[in-house]
């Protein structure tokens, strides 16, 4: 997991070529007028999902992990909490589904704030729970999906 401000994204360009391209896209794009949708950057190997939503209470969402894709979460507007956990703290709710590239879990974890202008990279296998808040609020966020 990597957490930082988008202006520092160049520090992580050496992690992987596709991650570098995803971070560059986030850094160079003005998302203020972009509507919620999926945006192909390099076909199914690299794409972005722009979304606007209300955050939820932690008990309303499951933990998730992926096998094929890394996620880069970037908050354009607002703030949310994102959870992270370890496998010994959760139990499986839904086995891995290759169509959605996700497994779902329930259990315990810790949370950190992801504020406007910040990003976090979750690698395949890292448990996370995005879109959480104790005071429900609207967030505009971009998730770049990077096939690794």
Convert 101-139 to b/e letters by CB count within 10 Å (16 or more is b). bbbbbebebebeebebebbbbbbeebbbbbbbbeeeeeb
Q: Where are the beta strands (DSSP E) in the chain?
A: 2-5, 37-40, 46-54, 63-65, 69-77, 79-85, 90-97, 102-107, 110-115, 118-122, 127-132, 138-147
pLDDT band at residue 137, thresholds of 50, 70 and 90?
confident
pLDDT surpasses 80 at 38: yes
**Per-residue model confidence as pLDDT tens digits over 4-23:** 999 999 999 999 999 999 99
Selecting from 2.60.120.370, 3.90.950.20, 3.40.50.620, 2.10.109.10, what CATH number does the domain 2-147 have?
2.60.120.370
**In the chain, where are the structural domains located?**
2-147
Q: What percent of the chain has pLDDT over 70?
A: 99
Q: Determine the average pLDDT of the residues in 23-45.
A: 96
């Amino acid at each position: 997991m990597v957490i930082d401000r988008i202006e520092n994204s160049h520090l992580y360009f050496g992690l992987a070529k596709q991650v570098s391209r995803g971070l560059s896209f986030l850094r160079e794009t003005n998302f203020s007028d972009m509507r919620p949708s999926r945006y192909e950057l390099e076909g199914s190997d690299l794409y972005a999902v722009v979304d606007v939503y209300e955050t939820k209470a932690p008990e309303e969402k499951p933990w998730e992990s992926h096998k094929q894709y890394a996620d880069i979460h970037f908050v354009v507007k607002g703030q949310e909490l994102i959870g992270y956990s370890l496998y010994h703290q959760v139990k499986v709710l839904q086995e891995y589904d290759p169509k959605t590239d996700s497994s779902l879990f329930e259990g315990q974890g810790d949370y950190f704030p992801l504020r406007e202008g910040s990003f976090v990279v979750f690698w395949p296998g890292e448990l996370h729970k995005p879109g959480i808040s104790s005071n429900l609020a609207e967030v505009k966020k971009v998730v770049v999906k990077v096939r690794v």
